[in-house]
Structure 1
């Protein structure tokens, strides 16, 4: 910014029209004209970044958090004279900055800071320079501000020309008590804002697996990319001070971006995990505390009626064109921490924000922010999207069978089949934390009944169906230990129990299928029919082999559909058991020797220089058409080079 070549400077005098003058460095040094020759934002960032907790960013710009003071040097063409020289800063956000909307900010020089007002104090003065301490408000809009300096001298008013290198990146501030994203616990701030390593949980509720990932929100260029997302959203900058508006904008933009990619690159297999991680990067990068959450057995309830309906024909075969509901093995979303001034008291804190929802919200593939407290208490009338989230974790499965006359009747129900093992990473460790109790009350509790009644009273509908006969035969499916691994036959155990004092004749129809993790079937692998005689109060155990060969898809998911009937009572047995084939863990040694756990070894040498010192995680993954989801990590300590 030093005036080392002819520049265009805008000069305004009282009673005259605006005029643009071209001046040289010689003219700029005269007392009658420009006072400021340079803005020095680079010598101070180290101190600014430490105080603002932005020291991890590798970008060169001044990166600060709102509601907190930051410093800058202003180089002058001559000594500053407070009696006749006046100076103020101007910050502009967006294409059409507005003072009313808070996107055009004038920062005056003041003696003392006032709460809720921008201001700058001269805290140090040299021969031809002054140091300013700038105070921002905790409600300031987040974004990339253009910075310029306006001076008032005896010769008129002058504006130092704008250059992109002086842009100021303003972020949310979880360390500021007056910011609506304030988080009181330092360990949680370190985890949910500053941590660039995390864990995603996937699989099934019986076989929970995890993957360590590097979000990389502090890498060079990522912050600029996040600002680009905001600027390309075409939403008013005046709303960028609200984490509620920001989360909806980013959710929409991230999902739109990946939908376009999926359209252009049809061979790329979309997974909600990828989009979740991109969304999480943007949230943490902008300063909103966020964490990924995995919901196992996640309902895709197309009509939000709190039931997942399964339709069978007279021969206990699935009627595909009628089975529009599904239960995903798992679904992942983000939670963001914020106050909710638009809701009654008590509904702030963690909010669900999902850029890969199973249904649209107001025509867009976005969801939230939805108060987790509202989901738990069944307050479905509160915004945003509480009914859908409530149904996603509170759902029964209802089995319908077609009768001889073509009508359908309910033959079996399963209670509370969704919203299990809701998981996130623990603060400060790699352990899994079960947060199901934050989303729903225990089954059978009075609080659970009250929440359901509240949801039904405010628009949700739920049908209850009486069963045609007593159910005295129980059917359960299980796996041995952690389940089979890829390459071996899948063995499932079926346990039939006769609870009455009379014998029972049971006919079972089993259908094994290769599945996508979203509950969509790829193909049937095996169909079978078995007749079993149960003595009074007898338990009968049997097993079934499933050979899958080349039919596996992503996440190596399989499902056993088990239907049947009892001859004596006409009772219908029905259950759908989802499971996955385990992939080998990738074992990593610091020497970078990679080893599979199953009869195959390969050594790889990869050289690179870590950018940051201190405790780090070394990640590795392996992928090929025959084997996916192979990954591992090890903890390392990077020493600073002397």
Structure 2
């Protein structure tokens, strides 16, 4: 009888990827999750397979690492090592002979692109066959995996969902910004795997790197460093200068695929440019693609404590102008990611969400990266826990000392223990709303006794200064959320707490600022004297007209630092109140023709509408994009007269089922701002 001869092997890509929940991920290889078996079919000629006469041995190769796995006739897979079990053999006469083999990877396998070989040993020969490649990812559905997430709803949100919201602005006026994570876009998974290969760790010691890739803590640190390009061939270059002429303004990105493709297609040259939300959104894409549950988180009033003393010092002139003194700063918002994983290195109680921050700010073990810092360790003030817990703790908990100065002399100091980390939020699973997660990071009033380093700031009593006066109180209040094109109105409320009249001098100052730095020049100010009777309260209304703040060029994160200093003319005591806020752009509106019956592979029509509220004509470029809905972005130039309504229809054919997002942006040329809108669409089966 003829000798057993292997004819071909079918890796059953479609069936295996559905079982492994990797369907939709685009790769040149079969895509699998670790800790789960996959089945391959082998067709052969000759006599029926006889395990006494033929040996089948799989060789599973990852770089310089490999394991040999003989096919066994029966039994259960071992949870700790690779195994291969013969499921069935079809010896019917004249029919093609088929064998089905189930291969199993342990849940602690390394993430990477593997090559699969099969060696057939018979009495007369030894033949080796190259079967192909497969990409192995983490498996949050597998209880033995260190990224296991128990809830199916949360797995849908933090692994499979490819749309999201990034939150920006200020705590009192949160802006929702749509983002397309694009992990299902063509070739994106392969680029994410390439990102691991381009890392300094892989380049310097491939074997060690591949062995360490079984651990999501290690993977998170590698990706956190590789998303920025500070010390490697990373993806994005940061730029906060306001000049983006040789690249893309960070505000113009709306999804991760364009960025990752540009990096890959330019032989891994850094993409220009990113800021914190872009770094975080790209990292979220890469981590979700690798199978590690991840969400994007915004911390409002995020402290950047450069000297590690848990105190942020802000300096103002006696006229209410914020001064650029000192290296500490408070970002109006800062965006990072949290990834879900076990932390056996920290002992019991620190599994779960971990902060990872790819925005290059400070070095961590010699590289620009941050985390994973266990959210529970931050909450418990466990500042000695790896990785980078003290830095993140300060971002959400530092005290703010506001100091009024004249000619280097401190006139007054105010301490605010609540401003930093005023709101920490993420997208709510299964909806396009915000979820407040502040209480996961901090109790209502954290115990401020913890200090890692001594500080010479004397709790409100500077060496040359005075404690903030108790005789008067002052507050600022915006009368409505500011919108581009409208005037800004606000009240200054002053209370005389004493039983004597007071003569006061009031200085109000408005400055432009970027979200991550101190303000630039004053664009509006008001100074006047007022008398206030004993135990009286006075409210003064102010208005900043549109053309006064529009003289400064701005983009979508247009922020204002508003401050008032009240000076008691008799005692010379001074009191400061300040408010930072964003001026929102008007929104685009998207309507779907048959919103409740959007069916896969069936043409639909969406209409983008916008009524120009400005008293000048506006022109710019309208871009409509939607992963799984549009194969390519739709772009068009538009000009809209004052009070005119633009209506732009767009035809699209949904290619994937589930929740998808159509988003539109209009970059205005003459007003130098970006208008946005988005619509989530539930694509149903035919």
Give how far 1:342 is off: 0.7
What do you get for the CA RMSD once the two structures are aligned? 2.4
- Matched ranges for 1:100-179 at <5 A: 104-110=66-72, 111-112=74-75, 113-126=77-90, 127-161=96-130, 166-179=132-145
Partner of 1:242: 215
Deviations 1:310-355 (A, max 9, x none): 23456665443x2422211111110000000110211110000110
Decide which moves more: 232-241 or 365-374: 232-241
Tell me the distance in 1 between the aligned counterparts of 2:558 and 2:321.
Answer: 24
Partner of 2:170: 204
Partner of 2:437: 435
CA contact (8 A) 2:57 2:71 kept: yes
Tell me the distance in 2 between the aligned counterparts of 1:372 and 1:534.
Answer: 48
Decide which moves more: 597-606 or 227-236: 597-606
Matching of residue 68 in structure 1 with residue 36 in structure 2: yes
Matching of residue 37 in structure 1 with residue 3 in structure 2: no
Partner of 1:12: none
Question: What is the aligned counterpart of 2:224 among 246, 251, 275?
Answer: 251
Question: What is the aligned counterpart of 2:246 among 258, 262, 265?
Answer: 265
Tell me the distance in 1 between the aligned counterparts of 2:15 and 2:320.
Answer: 70
Tell me the distance in 1 between the aligned counterparts of 2:100 and 2:456.
Answer: 65
Tell me the distance in 1 between the aligned counterparts of 2:238 and 2:337.
Answer: 21
Question: What is the aligned counterpart of 1:364 among 351, 362, 367?
Answer: 367
- Matched ranges for 1:259-408 at <5 A: 259-260=236-237, 265=246, 268-269=249-250, 270-312=274-316, 317-320=321-324, 322-402=325-405, 406-408=408-410
Deviations 1:373-424 (A, max 9, x none): 11111100000111111111112221334466x5546522222211012111
Partner of 1:630: 675
Decide which moves more: 513-522 or 278-287: 513-522
Give how far 1:513 is off: 1.1
CA contact (8 A) 1:108 1:118 kept: no
Tell me the distance in 2 between the aligned counterparts of 1:631 and 1:556.
Answer: 15
CA contact (8 A) 1:35 1:153 kept: no
Partner of 1:13: none
Q: Tell me, what secondary structure is at the counterpart of 2:665?
A: strand
Matching of residue 81 in structure 1 with residue 50 in structure 2: yes
Partner of 2:610: 596
Q: Tell me, what secondary structure is at the counterpart of 2:344?
A: coil
Distance 1:365 1:244, change over 3 A: same
Tell me the distance in 2 between the aligned counterparts of 1:502 and 1:52.
Answer: 77
Partner of 1:491: 489
Tell me the distance in 1 between the aligned counterparts of 2:571 and 2:521.
Answer: 33
Distance 1:238 1:39, change over 3 A: same
Give how far 1:307 is off: 1.7
Tell me the distance in 1 between the aligned counterparts of 2:282 and 2:154.
Answer: 21
Distance 1:614 1:290, change over 3 A: closer
Deviations 1:72-101 (A, max 9, x none): 11233434221111112112123xx23xxx
Deviations 1:187-232 (A, max 9, x none): 1111111111111111111101212222111122111011000111
Partner of 2:562: 560
Distance 1:156 1:402, change over 3 A: same
Matching of residue 549 in structure 1 with residue 553 in structure 2: no
Q: Tell me, what secondary structure is at the counterpart of 1:521?
A: coil
TM-score (norm 1): 0.86
Partner of 1:49: 17
Matching of residue 517 in structure 1 with residue 515 in structure 2: yes
Tell me the distance in 1 between the aligned counterparts of 2:331 and 2:168.
Answer: 11
Tell me the distance in 2 between the aligned counterparts of 1:343 and 1:461.
Answer: 29
Partner of 2:662: 618
Give how far 1:615 is off: 4.3
Distance 1:403 1:584, change over 3 A: closer
CA contact (8 A) 1:594 1:601 kept: no
Tell me the distance in 1 between the aligned counterparts of 2:542 and 2:590.
Answer: 36
TM-score (norm 2): 0.81
CA contact (8 A) 1:306 1:462 kept: no
Give how far 1:459 is off: 5.0
Which residues of structure 1 form unaligned runs of 5+? 1-28, 99-103
Tell me the distance in 2 between the aligned counterparts of 1:396 and 1:564.
Answer: 23
CA contact (8 A) 1:516 1:553 kept: no
Q: Tell me, what secondary structure is at the counterpart of 2:172?
A: coil
Tell me the distance in 1 between the aligned counterparts of 2:24 and 2:475.
Answer: 51
Tell me the distance in 2 between the aligned counterparts of 1:259 and 1:637.
Answer: 32
Which residues of structure 2 form unaligned runs of 5+? 91-95, 202-208, 251-273, 594-605, 614-642
Partner of 1:506: 504
